[in-house]
Amino acid sequence: MLKPIIRPQLKKLLHKSTLFCMPGHKGSLNALDITEITGADDLRRPKGILHDAQRQLAKVFNVPFAQFLVGGSSLGIHTMVKYYCDIGDTLIINDGAHVAVHNIAKILNLKTITLPINKIDNFGIAAPIMPDDVERTIKQHPDAKAVLITSPTYYGIFSDVKGIAKVCHANNIPLIVDQAHGAHFSFSHSLPPNAIEAGADACNISVHKTLPSLTQTAMLLSRVDMSEQLNLFCTTSPSYLFMMAIEEACIKMHKKGEKMIDALITNCNNFKNAIKFNTLSNNYTDPTRLVISLPGNRANEIANSLAQKRIYIEMCDGKNIVLIPSVNNTKDDFTRLAKELNQF
């Protein structure tokens, strides 16, 4: 039976305590926002509650190593690339890789090779990455130290990670997956498996993007221990609020996620049927991601009108709007949005 480890221990340690340590607010902003006091472990060299919490989460995700990322998926991307690449190496990436990939490539002076891009016609967005394209690119660049793909993308498009991992491993190249937008995948049989279960060597998941957790919270899932590289980039003052939020969101989803995600998918499907606009829907798109194609260059205008009604979308690319619903969105949220959209 999985239970949160961090919160109960902090409550015990902080009961009737006097703080002559960080943070400066001394508990006045949040009683459990504390630094690494005796008994609260040390994220750089975890041996106590943080070690136990990470071990428990590794079981939740069915992976050898799970590490807290208190600097978002960006921190995980920097860590994974540094693990596999050194200064001046070659890295194969997908077109449209996140800025964190380009930043670490700059820091390490990497030579990046971009995989071929295919588009989904009506939406003008990137289609899944094909294993054949990855294989061809590896053959053309046998010196590459790793392949890094984004799956799923911002638009919810996921690639055949299993097929791509097979191709990479047949060529002795590790596969890194930026799975920032797929933290929820591990908790439903209606969604693809997490990238490690599909065969990748390491992936990052932004817990904050699709699970009920605090902004900036993420996890690094991997087959090998990457803590040495993680410590090169991570703050030395990790937030316990972040780590508690990650732990509690993942345990909640482990216990109730299947049902909650089923309900979310039903809400998304009903929403798609209720609106008059075209939505992205196929067997390689996350059914919980909503991409709505808006005709006649009206996407920006519609996004702005929704904001004026205090309905905030995730992103507008000028042609489509992208919404990131989660298990915390109510049926009423979807009804309200559908009603407003249908007025345009």
Ligand X SMILES: Cc1ncc(COP(=O)(O)O)c(C=O)c1O
Using CB under 6 A, list all residues that contact ligand X: 72-74, 98, 100, 150, 154, 178, 180-181, 206, 218
- Comparing CB distances to ligand X, the nearer of 137 and 210 is 210
CB of 288 to ligand X, least distance (A): 15
Structure tokens at 272: 């798609």
For 304, phi and psi rounded to 5 degrees? -65, -40
CB of 264 to ligand X, least distance (A): 20
- Comparing CB distances to ligand X, the nearer of 324 and 338 is 324
CB of 77 to ligand X, least distance (A): 6
184 vs 289: CA distance, rounded Å: 11
What's the angle, vertex CA 154, arms to CA 208 and CA 176, rounded to 5? 80
CB of 32 to ligand X, least distance (A): 22
Question: Across-strand partners of 316?
Answer: 321
- Comparing CB distances to ligand X, the nearer of 56 and 153 is 153
CB of 203 to ligand X, least distance (A): 11
- Comparing CB distances to ligand X, the nearer of 9 and 79 is 79
CB of 272 to ligand X, least distance (A): 22
CB of 150 to ligand X, least distance (A): 5
- Strands 111-114, 90-93: pairing kind: parallel
Contacts of 25-33 with CB under 8 Å at 24 or more apart are 30/241, 32/7, 32/240, 32/241, 32/244, 33/239, 33/240, 33/241
10 Å CB burial of residue 236 (0-12, 13-18, 19+) is exposed
Asked whether 268 and 325 are in contact (CB, 8 A), the reply is yes
- Comparing CB distances to ligand X, the nearer of 178 and 286 is 178
- Comparing CB distances to ligand X, the nearer of 218 and 341 is 218
- Comparing CB distances to ligand X, the nearer of 58 and 220 is 220
CB of 49 to ligand X, least distance (A): 24
Q: For the residues of 226-271, what is the DSSP string, one character each?
A: -HHHHHHHS-SS--HHHHHHHHHHHHHHHHHHHHHHHHHHHHHHHH
- Comparing CB distances to ligand X, the nearer of 123 and 154 is 154
CB of 99 to ligand X, least distance (A): 8
230 vs 207: CA distance, rounded Å: 17
Q: What share of the chain is helix, strand, coil (3-state, %, to 5)?
A: 40, 15, 45
Q: If phi over 0 gives left and psi between -120 and 50 gives alpha, with beta otherwise, what is residue 237?
A: beta
- Comparing CB distances to ligand X, the nearer of 7 and 98 is 98
132 vs 71: CA distance, rounded Å: 34
Q: How many CB atoms lie within 10 A of CB 332?
A: 8
Contacts of 31-37 with CB under 8 Å at 24 or more apart are 32/7, 32/240, 32/241, 32/244, 33/239, 33/240, 33/241, 34/10, 34/240, 35/237, 36/238, 37/13
